[in-house]
């Protein structure tokens, strides 16, 4: 069966150029004691390994500091004692200037509450990656939104009723694709397989020198339209600490890429009794149309009033030049993608805000890296599978 099914797989690659910061988190935060600052980079270490392999004199000092609950002094000592040749780090990561200042201040206090949201990394190699489910979910959102917008007549009326009724919102997508709720075996996205995407620094410079590591720990603030007047920068929110991938726009030396394998199961599409099926050309076009419209929306609603469009000009220009008919398209991935990129468009959009305790149809803020860069914009293209 496996061999037969594999003959029906149309394989290709998905290659992405990451232009803006991107965070695909685990929901976990990094323990401050698992990080040691060494030569300007944070090293993810095994604290137990370091403490159990100290020489006797240092071990006594560490034990006394722990007994006296002198955590600041212990952190300082561990930083002094750390030897990467004896205790290799699982991985290392750079810091933005803003975060570096926050980190030094936090390390000087016993109650260090500097929590860093971790990006997904391979548990063995420490290599950062983007889950295939994240990419597949972004493609799915676009297809659902575009097909819902194209519905008309009685089907449009039925979808409107479902979208407005919290008890029936779970039936929205099955109805859109022409299947009954609970018939997951008929979901058209069963025919699409996407692997996790490995993140790399990209091709070297023309002279052969390597690109810098795109991973960094930096600050994220949420700007709100309600906190600043038009053409005046609003006061940023409380800074949060995130490990994220830096995009090309943030540094001219960057050429950040990801790559994953994609397979369309033609056997499932033809014989699997799936509903609402699609092919790669439609997927590329719907994704590009959906996210390009949302990019324009974000530019006019947020970036223009905040005078941030200048640094994003390359994003706007290159996104407009993509050709979906050649398998090129725009995506928005990961954390801080915001409401309009996660669901259908009004009037079908009915989202609930726990903070406002009311229904909302659009957001009023943006999460920005270093108070300047929106998250998640990626230029993608389908390419032939490697032999």
> Do residues 95 and 242 both lie within one domain?
no
Within a domain: 124: no
Within a domain: 242: yes
> Do residues 264 and 359 both lie within one domain?
yes
Within a domain: 253: yes
By the 8 A CB rule, do 90 and 34 touch?
Answer: no
Within a domain: 141: yes
Residue linked to tokens 């990656």? 129
Give the Cα separation of 121 and 254 in Å (integer). 20
The total of structural domains in the chain comes to 2
> Do residues 179 and 215 both lie within one domain?
yes
Within a domain: 50: yes
Give the Cα separation of 309 and 316 in Å (integer). 9
> Do residues 138 and 97 both lie within one domain?
no
> Do residues 367 and 278 both lie within one domain?
yes
Within a domain: 378: yes
Within a domain: 215: yes
Question: DSSP character for 279?
Answer: -
Within a domain: 49: yes
By the 8 A CB rule, do 216 and 96 touch?
Answer: yes
Asked if omega into 347 is within 30° of 0 (cis), the reply is yes
Among 95, 119, 143, give the residue marking a domain's end.
119
List the structure tokens of 96. Answer: 């933005």
Contacts of 136 (CB under 8 A, 6+ apart): 189, 192, 194
Per-residue pLDDT of the chain (387 residues; tens, 9 = 90+): 333 346 788 999 999 999 999 999 988 998 777 888 888 899 999 888 888 888 899 989 989 988 888 878 888 888 888 889 888 999 999 999 888 888 877 777 766 667 899 999 998 899 999 999 999 999 999 999 999 999 989 888 989 988 888 888 889 999 999 888 888 889 999 999 999 999 999 999 999 999 999 999 999 999 988 754 445 555 566 789 999 999 999 999 999 999 999 999 988 888 778 888 888 899 999 999 999 999 999 999 999 999 999 999 999 999 999 999 999 999 999 999 999 999 888 888 877 666 666 666 677 899 999 999 999 999 999 999 874
Among 119, 154, 188, give the residue marking a domain's end.
119
Please provide the DSSP assignment of 311-334 as one string. Answer: GGHHHHHHHHH--GGGTEEEEE-S
Q: What is the dihedral of CA 271, 275, 279, 282, to 10 degrees?
A: 170
Report pTM. 0.90
> Do residues 100 and 247 both lie within one domain?
no
> Do residues 81 and 159 both lie within one domain?
no
By the 8 A CB rule, do 213 and 201 touch?
Answer: yes
> Do residues 76 and 156 both lie within one domain?
no
Give the Cα separation of 294 and 345 in Å (integer). 10
Range of the domain at 317: 2-24+129-384
> Do residues 281 and 344 both lie within one domain?
yes
Among 119, 152, 184, give the residue marking a domain's end.
119
> Do residues 206 and 337 both lie within one domain?
yes
> Do residues 59 and 149 both lie within one domain?
no
């Amino acid at each position: 069966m496996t061999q037969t099914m594999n003959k029906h797989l149309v394989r290709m690659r998905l290659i992405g150029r990451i232009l803006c910061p991107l965070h695909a988190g685990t929901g976990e935060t990094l323990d401050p004691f698992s990080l040691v600052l060494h030569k300007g980079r944070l090293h993810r270490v095994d604290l137990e390994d370091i403490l159990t392999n100290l020489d006797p004199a240092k071990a006594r000092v560490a034990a006394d500091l722990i007994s006296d609950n002198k955590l600041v002094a212990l952190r300082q000592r561990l930083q002094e004692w750390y030897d990467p040749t004896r205790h290799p780090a699982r991985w290392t990561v750079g810091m933005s200037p803003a975060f570096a200042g926050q980190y030094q201040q936090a390390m000087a206090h016993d109650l260090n509450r500097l929590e860093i949201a971790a990006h997904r990394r391979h548990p063995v190699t420490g290599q950062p990656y983007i889950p295939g489910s994240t990419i597949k979910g972004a493609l799915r959102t676009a297809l659902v939104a575009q097909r819902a917008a194209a519905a008309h007549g009685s089907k449009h009326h039925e979808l409107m009723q479902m979208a407005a009724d919290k008890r029936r919102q779970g039936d929205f997508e099955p109805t859109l694709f022409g299947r009954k709720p609970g018939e997951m075996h008929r979901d058209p996205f069963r025919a699409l397989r996407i692997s996790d995407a490995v993140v790399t620094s990209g091709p070297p410079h023309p002279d052969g020198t390597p690109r810098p590591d795109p991973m960094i720990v930096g600050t994220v603030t949420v700007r709100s339209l309600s906190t600043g007047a038009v053409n005046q920068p609003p006061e940023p929110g409380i800074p949060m600490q995130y490990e994220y991938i830096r995009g090309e726009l943030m540094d001219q030396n960057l050429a950040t890429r990801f790559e994953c394998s994609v397979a369309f199961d033609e056997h499932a599409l033809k014989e699997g009794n799936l509903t609402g099926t699609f092919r790669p050309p439609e997927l590329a076009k719907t994704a590009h149309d959906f996210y390009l419209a949302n990019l324009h929306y974000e530019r006019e609603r947020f970036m223009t009033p905040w005078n941030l469009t200048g640094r994003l000009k390359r994003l706007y220009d290159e996104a407009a030049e993509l050709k979906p008919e050649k398998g090129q398209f725009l995506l928005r991935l990961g954390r801080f993608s915001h409401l309009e990129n996660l669901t259908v468009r009004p009037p079908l959009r009915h989202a609930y805000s726990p903070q406002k305790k009311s229904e909302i149809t659009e957001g009023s803020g943006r999460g920005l890296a270093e108070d300047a860069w929106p998250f998640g914009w990626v230029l993608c293209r389908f390419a032939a599978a490697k032999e």
